[in-house]
């Protein structure tokens, strides 16, 4: 691809991409054109992906089977609590080992009680998903459809359901070493402060760029996509 000649040939730049909302719509497959673009990009720079979802969901969105850990130099799942490099597992953090069973159950029980009082037009199943390094909490239920998730997202924008939920969690578990954040489109994430995005291995690169700019919406305009990312990545030489 002629537009990519400006990239350094020794791959000493790392470009990290968020998954949901950046490479794909939430829980959807990456477009083949965009996938091809990033595989071409990999010849010039190191590339990695970062997501709040567990590894199996990221793998499903970005490839088939375990293809994803070979297509990308780095894969950081569950907000970085599960880490892969060059097709091999680097580390995996277990939230139950960090919190202890008593605190973990207090957290789960509080969330279930709180969500039980929330009245919504629709509720589905899987309100708490237990992952390796975090809990993913969904007031509508993770088994909702994409359309129902978007509907809840619009309600949440008006009524600030998740914002109030996070505030309640922070107040209830103040001083317990927990971190609560609003996830993408309708979820709340809970993880130990000492693990997650702040628990990492040194990355062997001279420059790193983390991008959350959505590009899947432009995928059918492949020339525009290449132009956007070419300008973006050429700028890392000035970091």
Residues identified as active-site: 18, 20
Contacts 24+ apart (CB under 8 A), 194-197: 194/98, 195/80, 195/81, 195/93, 195/95, 195/98, 195/133, 196/78, 196/79, 196/80, 196/81, 196/93, 196/133, 196/134, 197/79, 197/80
- Give 84's strand partners: 75, 89
- Rounded to 10 degrees, the C-alpha dihedral 69/73/77/80 comes to 150
How many residues are given for the chain?
Answer: 239
Nearest by Cα to 20 from 232, 153, 212, 187: 212
Neighbours of 28 (CB within 10 A): 13
The DSSP call for residue 209 is E
Q: 189, 181 in Cβ contact below 8 A?
A: yes
Q: 208, 47 in Cβ contact below 8 A?
A: no
């Amino acid at each position: 691809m002629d537009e990519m000649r400006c990239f350094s040939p020794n791959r000493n730049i790392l470009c990290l991409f968020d998954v949901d909302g950046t490479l794909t719509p939430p829980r959807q497959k990456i477009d083949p054109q965009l996938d091809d673009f990033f595989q071409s990009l990999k010849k010039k720079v190191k590339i990695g992906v970062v997501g709040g979802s567990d590894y199996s969901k990221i793998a499903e969105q970005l490839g088939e089977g375990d293809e994803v850990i070979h297509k990308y130099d780095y894969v950081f799942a569950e907000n970085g609590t599960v880490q892969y490099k060059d097709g091999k597992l680097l580390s995996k953090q277990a939230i139950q080992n960090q919190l202890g069973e008593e605190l973990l159950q207090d957290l789960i029980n509080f969330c279930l009680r709180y969500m039980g009082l929330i009245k919504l037009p629709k509720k589905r199943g899987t309100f708490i998903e237990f992952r390796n390094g975090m809990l993913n909490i969904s007031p509508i239920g993770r088994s909702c459809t994409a359309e129902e998730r978007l509907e809840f997202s619009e309600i949440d924008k008006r009524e600030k359901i998740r914002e109030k939920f996070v505030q309640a969690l922070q107040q209830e578990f103040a001083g317990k070493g927990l971190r609560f954040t609003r996830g993408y489109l309708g979820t709340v994430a809970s993880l130990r402060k000492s693990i997650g995005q702040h628990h990492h291995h040194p990355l062997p690169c001279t420059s790193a760029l983390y991008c959350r700019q959505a590009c899947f919406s432009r995928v059918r305009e492949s020339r525009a996509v290449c132009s956007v990312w070419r300008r973006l990545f050429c700028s890392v030489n000035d970091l």
